[in-house]
Structure 1
Amino acid sequence: MFQVGEYIVCDHNGVCKVLGIAEMPELKKDILYYQLEPVYSKGSRIFVPVDSDKLVLRRVSSEEEVEALLDEIPSIETMWISNEKKREEEYREVARRYECREWVKIIKTIYLRKKSRRLEGKKITYIDEKYMKLAEDNLYGEISIPLHLTPDKVEKFIRERINKAAVSVIEE
């Protein structure tokens, strides 16, 4: 069970702060609900059954987990699928997990696709654009918490970290 004040990932709502845990007789008796506030959508409230098995509910990654993920980014494999319909299905399937590593996989895949398409004189597809935004919003939103950064600073932080690691490898 999550504690009041804790930050969690709540499925498609992203990072939320647990504001309370209580029964809500007007919804259903004898069921405890988390009262959640989406961190990046202040003012809204979400009520989720504590024992919900229909939603992804998990703790926000710790600083140590984020540091390990950042070190792993260069080796995380991409999803190279040429069929447009199958690619969207794969993006959707990966996105449903709401895991940072999976968001990185989507971002890397689309970044490389975008680069490739640009060389061919083509634009990024709507589906790629949609899933890139979804992945970036979720990844940056989550890891901003343990890194004590605002989400808009996370991409730059990651790029600098990867570039610094690449320079270190070259210098060795």
Structure 2
Amino acid sequence: MFKVKDIVIYTTEGLCKITEICSQDFNGHSTDYYVLKPMLSNRPTIFVPVDNEQLVERIRPVLSADEVHKLIKAMPDQETIWIENSNDRKKRYKEILSDSDHLELVSLIKTLYFYQEELQDSGKKLHLADKMFMEEAEKILYEEFAYVLDIEPSQLIPLIVGVIEADE
């Protein structure tokens, strides 16, 4: 059970603050809701029914600083997950974004980053859908990392590179 003032991640919406837990009446039936306010965007407030397990599962607490550092150290060992068929790739990448599993997000970013590098070497660009998947995965992961580590998002990539290079 989450509490008011908890900072959480809500799937693709990213970092949110639970501003209240309220009851709303609809057709004589009262339902309790978590009220989530996205912290880093002007997106609208999100109402998640407390008794809807499927939607509540999409809310999770932010990682600890130790967990973030462990994930950063694990980045070089993450496998890439390129899928040749574009329809299958879109379906799988949407699932990864929806699930917000950290290791899968790292794999997704790594895969698309390396593929983008290959394409650039031959004078081509990443397909728009793949670029959007990469940007969304980076947003989800990097917002949380920057918040947890109490740094500016612009400082995150140099920090990740420094941690990875120190481990080599």
TM (norm. structure 1) is 0.87
Alignment RMSD, CA only?
A: 1.9
Q: Determine the C-alpha separation between the residues in 2 that align with 1:34 and 1:94.
A: 24
| Aligned equivalents of 2:111, 2:80: Cα separation in 1 | 5
Counterpart position of 2:19: 19
* 1:4 and 2:19 aligned: no
Say which SS state the counterpart of residue 54 (structure 1) adopts.
helix
For 2:105 and 2:37, how far apart are their aligned partners in 1?
22
Cα offset for 1:121?
Answer: 2.3
Q: Which amino acid aligns with 2:8?
A: I
> What is the identity, as a one-letter code, of the residue corresponding to 2:32?
L
Change (3 A) 1:115 1:17: same
> CA–CA distance in 2 between the matches of 1:37 and 1:130?
23
Kept in 2, the 8 Å contact 1:140–1:152? The answer is: no
Check the 8 A contact 2:71/2:103 in 1, yes or no.
yes
DSSP 3-state at the match of 2:53? coil
- Tell whether 2:85 aligns with 1:110: no
- Output one character per residue of 1:72-101: Cα deviation in whole Å (capped at 9) or x when no partner: 111111102222222222211221211222
Aligned length: 166
Q: 1:28, CA displacement in angstroms?
A: 7.2
Which amino acid counterpart does residue 98 of structure 1 have in structure 2?
S
State the one-letter code of the partner of 2:47: F
Tell me the SS of whatever aligns to 1:96: helix
> Which consecutive unaligned segments of at least 5 residues does structure 1 have?
167-172
CA contact (8 A) 2:23 2:33 kept: yes
Matched letter for residue 160 of structure 1: G
After the TM superposition, which residues 19-168 of structure 1 pair with which residues of structure 2 at under 5 Å, given as runs? 19-25=19-25, 29-42=29-42, 44-55=44-55, 56-166=58-168
Deviation of the 1:130 alpha carbon: 0.6
Maintained 8 Å contact 1:15/1:38: yes
Q: Per-residue deviation at 1:3? A: 1.3
CA contact (8 A) 2:12 2:97 kept: no
Kindly tell me: are residues 13 and 27 of structure 1, through their superposed partners in 2, closer, same or farther at Cα, counting changes over 3 Å?
farther
Identical columns (%): 33
State the distance in 1 between where 2:22 and 2:83 align. Answer: 45
1:127 is paired with a residue of what secondary structure? helix
For structure 2, list consecutive stretches of 5 or more residues without a partner in the other structure.
none
Q: Quick one: distance in 2 between partners of 1:150 and 1:26?
A: 42
Structure 1 CA distance, aligned partners of 2:90 and 2:125?
17
